[in-house]
């Protein structure tokens, strides 16, 4: 059955919603000419908008799946709490970084080379996140088996590198952004969603092993969850 494409009104509202995050970051900084803030904002909008447009044109079923909310049918009961806590931590992270790095300067003398490293991590994050969406049509925001879409194991592309490349992209985001912006408090707060990602992987893999045919064989083929040669 052909999937109906997401309405253009829904897409427009999504684009406005995404725009709020960099706008808030720049507003809270108190400096509309904050170069690092603008670099992150352009990176963030470019990745989000490019991915959404790509999915709208090439994988409308996945785009609709990405709109599912916590508590949707099939989601593991524990996961809805993870999603909510992760969202709250993301908001806290976005709010604290401009206050720290620019408005109140709680972090001082932040090395330029660390800001450059942060930008490099964000390039790696963008690559992993976009390729994950491109190569895995079952990349749900919720921990659930998409039986209505006949979900199968995806083992090619970045999924031949680690078992959870999207989560690796998210970790690089949470570490790279505060480095680019020069916020030690943002870096400390960013460690919390990274921990949540690790815990979610453990619960998600338990479900995949029990409920998704072929995942056990895939796990033997691709040994590492998140970071090659480490875990």
pLDDT 10s digits, 32-48: 999 999 999 999 999 99
pLDDT digits (tens, 9 = 90+) for 165-178: 999 999 999 999 99
Dist CA 155 CA 161 (whole Å)? 9
Polymer length of the chain:
231
DSSP letter for 222, please: S
Class of domain 8-221: mainly alpha
DSSP letter for 3, please: P
Band of the pLDDT at 5, cuts 50, 70, 90?
confident
pLDDT digits (tens, 9 = 90+) for 17-27: 999 999 999 99
DSSP letter for 99, please: I
* Per-residue confidence (pLDDT) for residue 3, from 0 to 100: 62
Nearest by Cα to 205 from 168, 172, 170, 164: 164
187, 90 in Cβ contact below 8 A? no
Reduced to 3 states (helix: H, G, I; strand: E, B; else coil), residue 142 is coil
Dist CA 62 CA 186 (whole Å)? 31
Burial 66-85 (b: 16+ CB within 10 A, else e): bebeeeeeebbeebbebbee
| Angle in degrees, 0-180, between the axes of helices 184-211 and 79-98, rounded to the nearest 10 | 160
pLDDT digits (tens, 9 = 90+) for 86-113: 999 999 999 999 999 999 999 999 999 9
66: pLDDT strictly greater than 70: yes
In order of 19, 89, 181, 186, the CA distances from 25 in angstroms are 10, 15, 11, 12
How is 174-203 classified by DSSP, letter by letter? HHHHHHHHT-HHHHHHHHHHHHHHHHHHHH
């Amino acid at each position: 059955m052909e999937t109906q494409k997401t309405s253009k009104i829904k897409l427009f509202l999504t684009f406005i919603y995404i725009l709020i995050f960099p706008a808030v970051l720049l507003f809270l900084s108190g400096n509309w000419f904050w170069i690092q803030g603008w670099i992150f904002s352009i990176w963030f909008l470019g990745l989000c908008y490019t991915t959404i447009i790509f999915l709208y044109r090439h994988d409308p079923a996945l785009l609709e799946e990405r709109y599912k909310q916590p508590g949707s049918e099939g989601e593991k009961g524990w996961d809805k709490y993870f999603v909510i806590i992760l969202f709250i931590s993301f908001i806290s992270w976005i709010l604290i970084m401009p206050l720290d790095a620019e408005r109140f300067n709680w972090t001082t003398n932040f090395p330029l080379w660390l800001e450059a490293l942060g930008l490099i991590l964000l390039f790696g994050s963008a690559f992993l996140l976009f390729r994950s969406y491109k190569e895995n049509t079952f990349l749900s925001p919720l921990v659930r088996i998409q039986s209505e879409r006949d979900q199968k194991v995806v083992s090619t592309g970045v999924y031949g590198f680690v078992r959870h490349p999207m989560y690796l992209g998210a970790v690089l985001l949470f570490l790279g952004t505060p480095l680019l912006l020069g916020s030690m408090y943002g870096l400390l707060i960013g460690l919390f969603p990274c921990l949540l990602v690790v815990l979610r992987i453990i619960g998600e893999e338990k479900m995949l092993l029990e409920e998704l045919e072929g995942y056990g064989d895939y796990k033997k083929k691709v040994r590492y969850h998140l970071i090659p040669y480490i875990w």
